[in-house]
Amino acid sequence: MKRILSEKEKQKVIQLFNTGKYTLKEIAEQLSLSESGVSYVISAGLKKSNQNLK
């Protein structure tokens, strides 16, 4: 079952990822998410930040 992440959860994923200390699996376990969900949030966040740079 998939669920929609709140903005707060998305921010937490990006925050943990940006520290560079955690793998996708560790972030997923900490936040009780799937690895694919975590990677989706990160890739969406990167696309968004790339658009902001243009």
- Quote the pLDDT of residue 29: 92
Per-residue confidence in pLDDT tens, the chain, 54 aa: 567 788 898 899 999 999 999 999 999 999 888 888 899 988 988 888 777 776
Residue ranges of the domains in the chain?
Answer: 7-53
Predicted confidence at residue 2, as pLDDT, reads 64
> What is the reported pLDDT for 15?
93
pTM: 0.70
Q: Dig out the tokens for 48 from the structure.
A: 């968004």
- Give first-to-last CA distance, the chain, whole Å: 36
Domain covering 7-53, topology: Arc Repressor Mutant, subunit A (1.10.10)
Decide: 11 and 25 in contact? Cβ < 8 Å.
no
Q: Return the pLDDT at 1.
A: 54
